Chain A
Amino acid sequence: MALEREKHLAERSLLTLSESNLLDLYRLMSLIRRFEDRVAEMYTRGKITGFCHLYAGEEAVAVGAIHALYDKDYVISTYREHGHCLAKGVAPQKVMAELFGKATGVSHGRGGSMHLFDTEARFMGGYAIVGGGLPLAAGLGLSIHYKEEPEVVCCFFGDGALPQGAFHETLNLCSLWKLPVIFICENNFYGMGTLTQRAICQQELYRFAEPYNIPGVRVDGMEVLEVYGAVLEAAARAREGVGPSLIEAVTYRFRGHSMSDPAEYRSKREERIWQERDPIKRFRRRLNERRVSGEVLDRVDREVDAVVEDAVRFADESAEPPISEVAKNVYVE
């Protein structure tokens, strides 16, 4: 499991990050959890349709990783990307409105849950082909390298992408060209309903870094500061021009693959064990160690509730995109 070094880095972050930074991490994780809970509710009520993959349980990965980046760094993700998009600073109103398919959504109702995007936040999209975002991350890295800019690309994908050719081609290319890309594999043990043991020949996924001559580490993806520490190091390497890194964040999704999946392939016992490792509850305990009181955190939760409530109201009240514009933006004119 997580290496001692990563644990140590996390301990150091708990001591060195300011209280307001730590509260930001908590706020974002709480926001994602509460946002996703409301999304599930809205889905059940028919306000959100199509495929919808929730991020509950994995919050520490997106929040820890993105906190280690600068605003101008790029983030690229998959179809389970609500969390990454919110952590990158995109307004919850615009994300919820996109899930509702409304004109005010980030993608003006053309994308839905799986295709969020925000140019300003440098959130470069959710992609619904497993492994599809990795070559794009290489290209974004190439554009940074070409223009000699200081940014990095943070590319999220699941364990399901490991057996894809795109993963291997992209790691080879990025290592060869020393591109500033941080690959973050969210290992939640299941590619849809298939256990990684039944899909991948190597269970220590970070070891796929070895053949590509890049650093690979495994972190506890339920510990936000561990993810933060690892990404901070990887980002520094990328900015120095040393090249890409692979980080395996071991995590768990608290819900099924999508809203239509009851996750019957997992035991209740297994789910309970992981619920006990809930990244938000765990971080609350860590914050208590730093003498941040429960009341302060409860207040944050209430503020977040209000934000999510407002996002739902905004999405619900927003207009549908006009049918007359169905063929708009097929081409750049």
Chain B
Amino acid sequence: MAQISYREALNQAIKEEMDRDERVFIMGEEVGYFGGAFKVTDGLLAIFGEKRVRDTPISELTLVGAGVGAAMGGLRPVVELMTVNFGLLAMDQIVNHAAKIHYMFGGQAKVPLVIRAPQGGGHQLGAQHSQSLEEYFVHCPGLRVVIPATPADAKGLFKTAVRDDNPVIFLEHESLYGMKGEVADGEHLVPFGQANVLRAGSDATIVSYSKCVNDALKAAEALEERGVDAEVIDLRTLNPLDIDTIVESVKKTGAAIVVYEGWRTGGAGAEIAAQIYEAAFDSLDAPVQRVASMDVPMPYNRHLEAAALPSVEDIIRAVEHVV
């Protein structure tokens, strides 16, 4: 066990998977000589060389498509999108190709591809560099969507992603890279579809993932001082979604608040709320609450950006509204 950052945990996971399996390689804009735009792949070029750490031109569509083709050809590519925003240029290859190839060819081909993408707001990067787009991928059958909140999960889920035979969208919140936490040395695997109950509580269930998990924990601490005992669940993966853990908790607490950084409308909160209603309607004492980003393109100004993003105070207010 060591205290390392989310960034270092990912770097370690990539290195270990490349050591373990010759077929694993990384490819993306600036992943080699630059060390990754967020330095996640720093130092890997020196260890593995240009064949396995491939800098690419700025061609997201073809970069992802080449990952899909290489996976069909028997390799296990890890493609880095510099940020998820640029990944929109590759949506044709992700949605029309990667997600469909196993099914539409009757199970003959598989696409064991990991697409890593930093995302999220909070750094005054404006409307085109601050999005959280997990819902775009959750909506499409055929993809796995993985979204770790802690350094340990970043490592454990990444290793599972590389070994999975499906296309996996692996989303990393840019605010988490510097976050430190305990991470096991060497082999550490976290299975898909198993949510983590980070804090047990009896009054309300806060369901979250990625960076918002930290805000949810802070809110829970503050609520404790006010006599409210909140449970906090980190989903870890959105596809598969561990609805059982959510429902079990809601049956105990009678209240659910979904916290996420994507836009409020048509977001993960809507899907999770719907599934809670379907499975635990009678257990609810109040409507499911959503704490999310405002439905606006992210503004540059610091105060406006903070107002557009979900905050700890927003979570506290939402919980107090239902308990």
Contact = CB atoms under 8 A, between A and B. Distances in A.
Interface of A: 74, 105-111, 115, 117-119, 124-125, 127, 129, 132, 134-144, 146-147, 165-166, 169-170, 172-173, 176, 328-332
B31 to A, nearest CB: 15
A142 B66 contact: yes
Contacts of B20: none
Contact of A115 (B25, B68, B105, B110): B105
Contacts of A107: 104-106, 108
Interface string B79-115: 0000000000000110011000111111111101000
- For A106, A136, A170, the residue with the greatest tally of chain B CB atoms inside 10 Å of its CB is A136
Interface stretch (B69-77, B244-252, B307-315): B69-77
Contacts, number: 138
Given A137-B69, A139-B68, A142-B73, A169 B104 contact: no
B102 A135 contact: no
Q: Which 7 A-B pairs have the closest CB atoms?
A: A139-B69, A135-B65, A143-B73, A108-B106, A117-B105, A169-B62, A332-B165
Contacts of B104: 107, 110-111, 115
B56 interface: yes
B141 interface: yes
Contacts of A328: 107
A111 B280 CA distance: 38
A166 B62 contact: yes
Contacts of A111: 104-106
Contacts of B165: 332
Given A106-B106, A111-B104, A170 B62 contact: yes
Given A139-B66, A146-B25, A173-B62, A125 B73 contact: no
Nearest to A137: B69
A132 B96 contact: yes
Contact of B102 (A109, A127, A329): A329
B148 interface: no
- For B69, B77, B141, the residue with the greatest tally of chain A CB atoms inside 10 Å of its CB is B69
A70 to B, nearest CB: 16
Contacts of A176: 57
Contacts of A172: 57, 59, 62
B105 A136 contact: no
A7 to B, nearest CB: 34
A143 B113 CA distance: 13
B166 interface: yes
A195 to B, nearest CB: 25
Contact of B66 (A108, A125, A127, A135): A135
B51 interface: yes
